[in-house]
Amino acid sequence: MHPARYLGSLALLLAASGAALAASPSDKNFTFQLFPNPAFVACLTAEGGKPPTVTVTVRRGLRNDHMRVVLKHFKPGLGFDLFTVQRSPQQADGSPDAGFTNFGLAWYQSDIETSRHPSKAEINTILLDQIFGFDPDVGLSPTQTLHVGFWFNDPADAAACGFVGTTPFNGEHNAGPLAFISRPDATTGLGPLCTNPNTSTIPATCNP
């Protein structure tokens, strides 16, 4: 992780549910929640504190979008690595997705470090409706990463909750487990970075 990227500041959180507040793709701001990996909540929560929460606000731009991720009520001193990913292990109602096998395509976006105050990460890139990657070397066609999640940077921070081993979700490829992630829309099954779904296809797709 890069300490210079770490940001900690007070932030005004927009009231939000698990879905985006605005439904029209012409709107500028979209806000949604991320949700914890239940197995590791105890390793995220400040002693005697409230349950941790994460709010994401994405502002649509002309050439790229601005995303702000705000963390509250986290144990201070934790490091995380933020990604956009193809799949979430949670369903819209928060239950585990029985068909989940892996996160699919993943893009490394930012680092986050928590403090005693609400912490945040901010990035500017293509996000809403159009974020995708492809790799002709392995036959991977254009694939969208419409979910947002972050992982423990240090596996030791999750050891007290039973985590053993590493995952590839940091710059050194030796991260800990998933900490928080978005959930799919109950109707379309798409991640919250899709604001313009096409429900005429099966499964639903996202119109760029």
Domain range annotation of the chain: 3-206
pLDDT average, residue stretch 62-80: 96
pLDDT at 94 over 60: yes
CB atoms within 10 A of CB 170: 22
> For residues 133 and 143, what is the distance between their CA atoms, to the nearest angstrom?
5
**Spatial distance between the Cα atoms of 152 and 80, rounded to a whole number of angstroms:** 5
Find which of 2-16, 109-123, 157-171 is predicted with most confidence, using mean pLDDT.
157-171
Burial (Cβ within 10 Å: 0-12, 13-18, ≥19) of residue 88: buried
Whether the per-residue pLDDT at 93 is higher than 60: the answer is yes
Of 204, 71, 77, 95, nearest to 149 by C-alpha is: 71
| pLDDT mean across residues, the chain | 89
Average pLDDT over residues 149-156: 99
Strand partners, 108: 83
Task: Summarize the confidence of residues 193-197 as an average pLDDT.
Answer: 97
Position with higher pLDDT, 57 vs 3: 57
pLDDT, tens digit (0-9, with 9 covering 90-100), for 7-50: 333 232 333 333 333 345 557 999 999 999 999 999 999 988 89
Residues 6+ apart with CB under 8 A from 157: 43, 78, 79, 176
Torsion of CA 193, 126, 169, 117, to 10 degrees: -80
Q: Is the pLDDT of residue 4 over 70?
A: no
